[in-house]
Amino acid sequence: MARRGFRVERLPGSAAIAMLTFVLLYVPIVILVVFSFNAGASQAQWEGFSLEWYAAAFGNRQVQEVSIRSLWLAAVAAGIATVLAVFAALGTTRVGRFPGQTLIYALINQPLMVPEIVTGIALLILVAAVKVQTGYTGMGYLVLAHTAFCIPFAYLPVRARLETLDPALEAAAADLYAGPFQAFRHVTLPLLVPGIVAGFMLGFVISLDTVVITEFVKSAGQDTLPTYMLGQLRRTTTPEMNAIATLFLLLSVLIVTAFFILTRVRGR
Amino acid sequence: MRRATWWNWLLCAPALVVLVVAASGPLVIVAVYSFLSPGNLGGVEWTFTTEAWFRVFFSRDMFEPDIVTWNDAHLVIFWRSVWLSLQTTVICALLGFPTAWFIATRRPGNRTLWLFLVTIPFWTNLLIRTFAVQEMIRNNGIVNTLLLKAGIIEAPIQMLYTDFAVLLGMAYVFLPLMVLPLYAAMERMDFRLVEASYDLYASRWASLWHVILPSVRPGLIAGSILVFIPAIGAYVTPRVLGGGRTMMLGNLIALQFGQGRNWPLGAALSMLLLIVVVAALVIYLRAVGQDRGPRRG
Amino acid sequence: MKQTMGLALAAVLGTGAAAQAEGVLNLYNWGNYTSPELLEKFTAETGIKVTVTDYDSNDTALARIRQGGHGFDIVVPSDTYVPTYIAEGLVVPLDDAIVTDRDNILEQFRDVPFDPGREYSVPWQWGTTGVVVNTSVYNGDRNTADIVFKPPPELSGKINVIPEMSDVMAIAVYYHGGERCTDDPEILRAVRDTLMAAKPHWLALDYGTVDAYIAGDFAAGIYWNGASMRARLGNPDIAYGYPATGFPIWMDNAMVLADAPNPENAMRFINFILRPENAALISNFARYANGIEGSEQFMDEVMRDAPELTIPDELKDAGRWGVVCPQEVTDMHTQIWTELLQ
């Protein structure tokens, strides 16, 4: 492992651009966090430190409900979508051409190609008819709609990861373990983990951002954070929103830290 | 062979069922609606007409109904959306590639940390993120304040409500969709190959071109698709940062389903967008696919 | 039959989530429009728990209600949409036995064109769409749409127009002397030319911009009266104007849906918001007037005699209720609007 003057991380300027990217990513976030502690309602002028917007957010039952609902929905939809996407990726990647493959690709990627407003309207018509027929108005519709929307986002990274795997590894594993399921369990699956994590995270983010579809599919009392905010778009947003965003951020940092420590402990 | 096909379909079946029920099926409704007449205050009347499709491309002069011309407004809006999405994709690739590379070349234990640093901002809602960018570049925002204090500029630069703001915001919003798949592909790369190639070609650019790019191509393709398509339908970001002075396709479609109350026209515009996206995908994948052939051999 | 089957299925699924139990009310309202204090007070008084679901436009709300299966009890559409709800049988007449306080409605809002005799609806809030101007930048006559359509040089490039096609088209059509839904080609041509000529002077067409007015990013624009008042509270130079050529008056109205799961609770809520002290809670939260007699004395100090909430007598005639235009006219408006924003 002796280095001979070349270190791959020194691809020209990559570190500098990466740092610039990280700065760009975090400047708006820092502003957001700072102004969530602003004493005044303005998001442009600093008027002193205060926790009043946090108090307001915690005092606002609706904000709490929609936040929790958003997180729950994102976790469930992204989770289901990732599992389905892994199966689909295994069924379509490195398997040679088979009849109907193009159709499968088209179906999987289809939610990506349609603007949300179209899917939203289409789902509204369909879902409303089902609601009237069955009387069921639970969260199932939102889970289904979000899952469908997350599948392509979960599928692509898993597939990209799978394509770069060396088939020889699995062939060797198949020889050793003598069963396709064991080979999958002990070789393919662990190697797929980065793709699966990336897929789940993408799905989670996409679900958190899905506004229009939720708006049209939701039943009474099923506002999510994005639809709640969309309803406020016509009116001025208050730093209360910044406070909620900061809390979301804190939550994600906690999850990230936990995940990080866990993977460290497992020695990866 | 036949059993393999059967098995592949079975693996895909659960995902396909969800997709057909919640995504493709409803789309058929949209296709049907594009051939109906607008109802009173939204909705449709069940009478067949191609009027909506006619109006996607042509417009009758409002004051002289006999004069029919191309619908310039629609074409301009279409082109603007495509162009903006292309620019967004390129910017995301230019920023995302070095970033993913940087992460993939950290020590294995640290990679997850950097990866999560990329995604953390995106755990907040898209609207909030867009507003955060807005706060940053407004006239008395931090960028202008710093530039003023440093004496680089004398008066605030109007950044908000410009094309620059829209591009910045779009790149900001969609960047992780590029970084994550790129990283997933790079992480599997054999970096010894790169070092060897560096010895062989003795140029970093040559290694980049001949060794690195081919290996990360699947990630780059996935990332470009993931960025381009939501970008072309985006409408919150252009509206907030561009100040809503010009429409994107998403806004145009939303207008027809909303205040314009012409659902068939909205449906036809949606179908057209769908056709454009599919065409772009086919061209893109074909171009990349041809490129790949000889080099692999 | 279908209903029974549906109920049976819901029972099997175990999640008839649209709460039908006693003591529940599902309110479908504009986002950030419902005072939490109001709901708490209602729950304390009646024991009925209220759930609020938001919408962001009249069109979304109507589309949702029309399709059925929504589980909402009360909807709060704008005046222009009220006749459609009534004509399509989406709402029911108010129950005289429970809704007893309709006399509290201000006389001018008691017999309105969109719901004669207030058989179906009660006021939630009302307001106007007019012009807003920063008087430290421009201190001329502000009761004119010229501020936006033919702006003086000092306002050029600092104007924000709300991206509401119907509001903007209404002000522009009135500006050229037309009726709200005129199909007179000459007027519409003039409207288009005016808007196209005005647009280069506009910096943005954006919604939530109270902050931007306070900070001075915008110096003029088309805006709602309540938002304009909030801008003035942050910056005393901000003033609201009523275009003398005509400006829209709007009112959002609470109505009980025909397929409401809890109609009786809904009626009780309707009567609850007719009481001045309760109506004042709505106004204190969302900063618009409410149309209930005697509610001023319960309102926040800053709202009681705000110029934004009181139309000056000499301009009262210029304020006009909205109407829903025929599809051909809406199509022409959309075409102009699309051209404007291309």
- Domain regions of chain A by residue span: 9-50, 62-266
Window C:316-335, CB contacts with B under 8 Å: 324, 327, 330-335
Q: Please give the structure tokens belonging to residue C78.
A: 């704008």
Q: What contacts B25, CB < 8 A, 6 or more positions away?
A: A126
Cα–Cα distance, C322 to B124 (Å, whole number)? 39
- The pLDDT of residue A237 is 59
pLDDT tens string, chain C, 342 residues long: the values are: 344 434 333 333 333 333 444 689 999 998 778 898 999 999 999 999 999 888 877 887 888 888 787 889 999 999 988 998 999 999 999 999 999 999 999 998 998 889 999 999 999 999 999 999 999 999 999 999 999 999 999 999 999 998 888 899 999 999 999 999 999 999 999 999 999 999 999 998 887 678 788 888 899 999 999 889 989 988 999 999 999 999 999 999 999 999 999 999 999 999 999 999 999 999 998 889 999 999 999 999 888 888 998 899 999 999 998 888 888 898 899 989 988 988
Cα-Cα-Cα-Cα torsion C250, C252, C255, C260, nearest 10 degrees, comes to 130
Q: Please judge whether C334 and B139 are an interchain contact, meaning their C-beta atoms are less than 8 angstroms apart.
A: no
Q: What is the DSSP letter of C247?
A: E
The mean-pLDDT minimum among A136-150, A159-173, B6-20 falls in A159-173
Task: Check residues B50 and A57 and name the one with the higher pLDDT.
Answer: B50
Q: Would you kindly state where each structural domain of chain B is located, as residue ranges?
A: 75-291
For chain A, give the longest Cα–Cα distance: 71
pLDDT > 70? residue B87: yes
Best CA proximity match to B263, nearest among B66, B35, B107, B62:
B35
Q: At how many degrees (to 10) do helices A61-92 and A239-265 cross? A: 40
Name residue C127's beta-bridge partners. C250
Residue of A44, A135, A231 with shortest CB distance to C55: A231
CB contacts under 8 A, B 45-64 vs A, are none
Q: Check pLDDT > 80 for residue A210.
A: yes
Q: Taking CB atoms and an 8 Å limit, are C9 and A134 in contact across chains?
A: yes
Give the lowest-confidence range in A177-191, B55-69, B132-146: A177-191
Q: What is the mean pLDDT of residues A247-259?
A: 72
| Chain C residue at shortest CA distance from B242 | C204
What's the pLDDT band for B18 if we cut at 50, 70, 90? very high
Q: What is the mean pLDDT of residues B282-295?
A: 62
- Give A180 or B234, the one with higher predicted confidence: B234
- Suggest the residue from B128, B240, B285 to mutate for an interface test with chain A (most A CBs closer than 10 A): B128
Q: Tell me which chain C residues have a C-beta less than 8 angstroms from the C-beta of B67.
A: none
The stretch A151-175 carries a mean pLDDT of 81
Cβ-Cβ contacts under 8 Å, A44 against chain C = 211, 214-215
User: Which chains have 3 or more CB–CB distances shorter than 8 Å to chain C?
Assistant: A, B
Non-local (6+) Cβ contacts of C174 within 8 A are C145, C180, C243, C245, C246, C247, C318, C320
C236 to chain B, closest Cα gap in Å: 19
The secondary structure element, H or E, covering residue C233 is helix C225-234
According to the model, what pLDDT value does residue B207 have? 67
Sign of CA pseudo-dihedral C138, C144, C150, C156: positive
Q: What is the CA radius of gyration of chain C?
A: 21
Strands C159-161 and C202-204, how do they pair?
parallel
Please report, for residues A259, B93, B223, C245, the alpha-carbon distance to residue B100 in angstroms, rounded to integers and kept in the order given. 20, 10, 11, 59
Which of A176-190, B52-66, B161-175, C32-46 is predicted with the least confidence, judged by mean pLDDT?
Answer: A176-190
Using a CB–CB cutoff of 8 Å, tell me whether A154 touches chain B: no
In sequence order, the β-bridge partners of residue B60 are B68
For residue C222, give both structure tokens. Answer: 């088309």
Please give the pLDDT value at position B107. 82
**DSSP-assigned letters across all residues of C24-50:** EEEEEEETT-S-HHHHHHHHHHH--EE
pLDDT value at residue C57: 78
Give C-chain residues touching B161 at CB under 8 angstroms.
Answer: 203-204, 206
Q: Say yes or no to pLDDT of B267 above 80.
A: yes
Q: Which residues have a Cβ under 8 Å from the Cβ of C89 and sit 6 or more positions away?
A: C258
Question: Is the four-CA dihedral A140, A141, A147, A148 of positive or negative sign?
Answer: positive
What fold, for A62-266? MetI-like fold (1.10.3720)
On the 0-12 / 13-18 / 19+ scale of CB atoms within 10 A, B149 is exposed
pLDDT above 90 covers what percent of chain B? 18
Q: Averaged over A132-145, what is the pLDDT?
A: 83
Together in a domain, C240 and C256: no
Cα(A120)–Cα(A239) distance, rounded to whole angstroms?
29
CA–CA dist C75, B267 (Å, integer): 27
Query: Is the pLDDT assigned to residue A121 strictly greater than 70?
Result: yes
* Tokens 């990336």 found at: A198
In this predicted structure, what is the pLDDT of residue A268? 40
Question: B240 touching C, CB under 8 A?
Answer: yes
Select the residue from C37, C67, C72 to test the A interface by mutation, using most A Cβ atoms within 10 A: C67
So what's the pLDDT on residue C4? 40
Helix axes B72-104, B249-257, angle to 10 degrees: 130
Query: Which residue among B38, B161, B257 sits closest to C203, beta carbon to beta carbon?
Result: B161
Average pLDDT over residues A158-173: 79
SS3 sequence of C115-184: EHHHCCEEEEEEEEEEEEEECCCCCCCCCCCHHHHCCCCCCCCCEEECCCHHHHHHHHHHHCCCCCCCCC
pLDDT digits (tens, 9 = 90+) for A87-114: 999 888 877 777 888 888 888 888 877 7
- Judged against a pLDDT cut of 60, whether residue A125 lies above it is answered with yes
Q: Is C16 a member of any domain?
A: no
- Segment B105-123 shows an average pLDDT of 79
- Are B41 and C205 within 8 A, CB to CB? no
Which chain B residues are within 8 Å of A98, Cβ to Cβ? Answer: 1, 4-5, 8
One domain, residues C85 and C149: no
Predicted TM-score (pTM) above 0.90: no
Domain that includes residue C322, residue range = 127-248+311-341
Q: Using the structure block, give the residue that is written with the tokens 């058989």.
A: C119
> Residue C217: closest CA among chain A residues belongs to which residue?
A44
Instruction: Give me A227's structure tokens.
Output: 């639809």
Chain-chain contact of B16 with A107 (C-beta, under 8 angstroms): yes
Burial class from Cβ neighbours inside 10 Å (0-12, 13-18, 19+) for residue B39 reads middle
- C148 and C167 in one domain? yes
The two three-digit tokens of residue A112, written as one number? 């990506």
Q: A-chain residues within 8 Å CB-CB of C166?
A: none
In chain B the first and final C-alpha atoms are separated, in Å, by 25
| Each residue's pLDDT tens digit, B156-209 | 888 888 888 999 999 998 898 899 889 888 887 776 776 776 666 656 666 667
**Candidate ranges A31-45, A125-139, B55-69, C284-298; pick with highest mean pLDDT:** C284-298
Considering only alpha carbons, which residue of chain A is nearest residue C18?
Answer: A137
Residue A232 exposure: Cα atoms within 13 Å on the Cβ side: 22
Taken in order C122, C125, C131, C135, the sign of the CA dihedral is positive
Residue A252 pLDDT > 80? no
The confidence band for A265, taking pLDDT boundaries of 50, 70 and 90, is low
Assigned token pair, A177: 């373990």
Query: What was the pLDDT predicted at B153?
Result: 86
pLDDT at B203: 67
- Asked if residue C147 lies in contact with residue C153, where contact means CB atoms within 8 angstroms, the answer is no
pLDDT for residue C8: 39
Of B77, B243, B247, the CB nearest to C204: B243
Q: If you measure CA to CA, which chain B residue comes closest to C184?
A: B63
Quick one: C147 and C220 in the same domain? Answer: yes
C10 with A136: Cβ contact below 8 A: yes
Name every residue whose Cβ is closer than 8 Å to that of residue C85 and which is 6 or more positions away in sequence.
C62, C65, C75, C77, C91, C120, C255
Chains touching B, CB cut-off 8 Å, 3+ pairs = A, C
Out of A42, A135, A221, name the one closest to residue C10 (CB): A135
- Does residue C203 lie within any of the structural domains? yes
Give the lowest-confidence range in A108-112, B29-33, B117-121, B207-211: B207-211
Q: How far is CA C179 from the centre of its chain?
A: 20
Co-location of C110 and C134 in the same domain = no
Task: Please give the torsion angle defined by the CA atoms of residues B40, B42, B44 and B48, in that order, rounded to the nearest 10 degrees.
Answer: 80
Burial profile B188-220: b = 16 or more Cβ within 10 angstroms, e = fewer: bbeeeebbebbeeeeebeebbeebbeebbbbbb
Residue C207 and residue C58 share a domain: no
Rounded to whole angstroms, the Cα distance separating A221 from A241 reads 20
DSSP three-state, residue C190: helix
Contact B59 C335 (CB under 8 A): yes
Across the interface, of C66, C192, C327, the residue whose CB is closest to B38 is C327
The CATH number linked to C32 is 3.40.190.10
* Residue A2 pLDDT > 60: no
Q: Which residue has the higher pLDDT, B110 or C248?
A: C248
Cβ neighbors of B251 (< 8 A, separation 6 or more) are B235, B238, B239, B244, C341
pLDDT, position C12: 36
Residue C1 in domain: no
Q: Which of residues 95-134 of B touch A (CB under 8 A)?
A: 95-99, 101-103, 105-106, 108-109, 112-113, 115-129, 131-133
Residues 6 or more apart in contact with residue A70 via CB below 8 angstroms: A208, A224, A225, A226, B125
Q: Is B229 within 8 Å of A153 (Cβ atoms)?
A: no
- Residue C2: per-residue pLDDT: 40
Residue of B35 and A50 predicted with greater confidence: B35
Q: Which of B183, B172, B49 is nearest to B115 (CA)?
A: B183
Distance from C-alpha of C114 to C-alpha of C111, rounded to nearest angstrom: 9
Q: Are residues C322 and C198 part of one domain?
A: yes
Average pLDDT over residues B252-263: 84
Q: Which of C81, C205, C331 sits opposite B245 (nearest CB)?
A: C205
Dihedral, CA of residue B130, residue B133, residue B137 and residue B139, to nearest 10: 50
Specify whether domain B75-291 bears CATH 1.10.3720.10: yes
Same structural domain for residues C233 and C315? yes
Q: Are residues C158 and C40 in the same domain?
A: no
Q: Is B204 on the interface with A (CB under 8 A)?
A: yes
B104: Cβ contacts below 8 Å, ≥ 6 apart:
B111, B183, B186, B187, B189
**Spatial distance between the Cα atoms of B233 and B250, rounded to a whole number of angstroms:** 5
- Under DSSP, the state recorded for C53 is E
Residue A7 pLDDT exceeds 60 = no
Nearest CB among C199, C212, C330 relative to B261 is that of C330
* H-assigned helices in chain B: 2-19, 25-33, 51-57, 72-104, 108-119, 126-137, 142-149, 163-186, 191-201, 204-207, 213-233, 236-241, 249-257, 263-296
